[in-house]
Amino acid sequence: MNFELSDEQRTIRDTLRQFAEREIKPHSAKWDKEEIFPREVIGKLGELGFIGVSFPERFGGGAADTLSQALVVEGLSRYDASVGLACAAHMSLSSGHINLFAAEEQRAHYLPAMVAAQKLGAWCLTEPGSGSDAAAMKTRAARAGDHFVINGSKMFITNGSVADVYVVMAVTDAGQNRSGVSAFIVERGAPGLSNGRRIEKLGLRASDTAEVIFDNVAVPARNLIGELGEGYRQTLKVLEGGRIGIAGFAAGIARGAFEEATAYAKERKQFGKRIADFQAIQFMLADMATRIDAAWVLMCRAAALKDQGRPFGREAAMAKLYASETAMWSTIKAVQIHGGYGYMAEFPVERFMRDAKLAEIGEGTSEVQRMIIAKSLLRDGYLPA
């Protein structure tokens, strides 16, 4: 296995870092404190080609590989996880769903503007009463002539109140259980589409998270993605790929916390010495770096399998599980290294710690990832790819 980044991937990584140092880092604390969604920055990322890095060239994308897209999410999350999450949801989930399963006419209509971040996407799966149990969804889509009428609500939707294009999962045949779920494209401005109560969050405060309500929303039948009853199968495939992006999201948070903790340890002095010279601090940094590298390798493996057209579900779950728990562990250690200052909003590590928790919950909790991994092991045995 080749662990070296290609020239193109290094260019993406380095160019994005320069952009983030200039356009994101100086503002991230303010965005977090005032809960400002940085729409303008996401637009700039689209103009520079980062949002569409892995999408087909005919839609304005860069036709790069899965790892390149994960590098974008990781690079953004190292500075501001809210920006990283907004872009991950837009690229991997909403735009990704359309790219994977929509008809060519639908792709040609929606993807060019989404790839350029001129239009933002939201992916509507989770509901107030169903998260990991996606088959228990209550949102319904009933056929009415040449339209479907959608009723229900979705909860915890990233980009939910700022999106222009919504990919919505709804039940079209309640008697078919999972085979009765279908996916639709709904555009902003559709009568009956609205947002519910404002959601206040522990972290990721600059990421837009909203309840999306559908009250007799009429959607043209041509906006059905694929065939009736294919929505649940599509959802599972989208989530598989999305977990690679969340692994990048988590790895970026962990790396940001590590870099901040290392810089602080080199500057902070106790008893006339840098705290970086104390073994207790060195061991924490060593463990952080080791776990981050392990998460990185798991992410690269899952991305490589995906691009080779091989099964990657178990590997994506492993990457997401380990990277998310590494992010939580590493940010706690970063706060510890900072001591009392780590608990202050003046230093970014407390924000990293708050942001990291979502990685263990979103796109399938850690418990769900373990279920996926264990099911695969019991079915297929253990043979690393």
The residues assigned a catalytic role are: 363
- Specify the pairing of strand 147-158 against strand 140-144: antiparallel
Could you count the other beta carbons within 10 Å of the beta carbon of residue 6?
13
* Rounded Cα distance, 46 and 167, in Å: 20
267: burial class by Cβ within 10 Å (0-12, 13-18, 19+)? exposed
Task: Count the helices and strands in the chain (H runs, E runs).
Answer: 12, 10
Which residues, listed in sequence order, are joined to residue 209 by a DSSP beta bridge? 158
* Rounded Cα distance, 206 and 158, in Å: 11
Could you count the other beta carbons within 10 Å of the beta carbon of residue 56?
14
CB 235 within 8 A of CB 183: yes
Angle formed by the axes of helices 66-77 and 231-267, nearest 10°: 50
Please report where in the chains the tokens 């909203």 appear, as a residue.
210
Could you tell me the CA-to-CA distances from 297 to 53, 286, 323 in Å, in that order? 21, 17, 10
CB 140 within 8 A of CB 170: yes
* Rounded Cα distance, 107 and 239, in Å: 19
Q: Which amino acid is at 226?
A: G
* Rounded Cα distance, 105 and 111, in Å: 10
> Tokens at residue 236, please?
């599972």
Strands (E), 51-146: 121-124, 140-144
* Rounded Cα distance, 207 and 249, in Å: 13
> Nearest 5°: CA angle at 292, between 346 and 201?
45
CB 84 within 8 A of CB 158: no
Q: Which amino acid is at 223?
A: N
DSSP structure class, residue 55: S
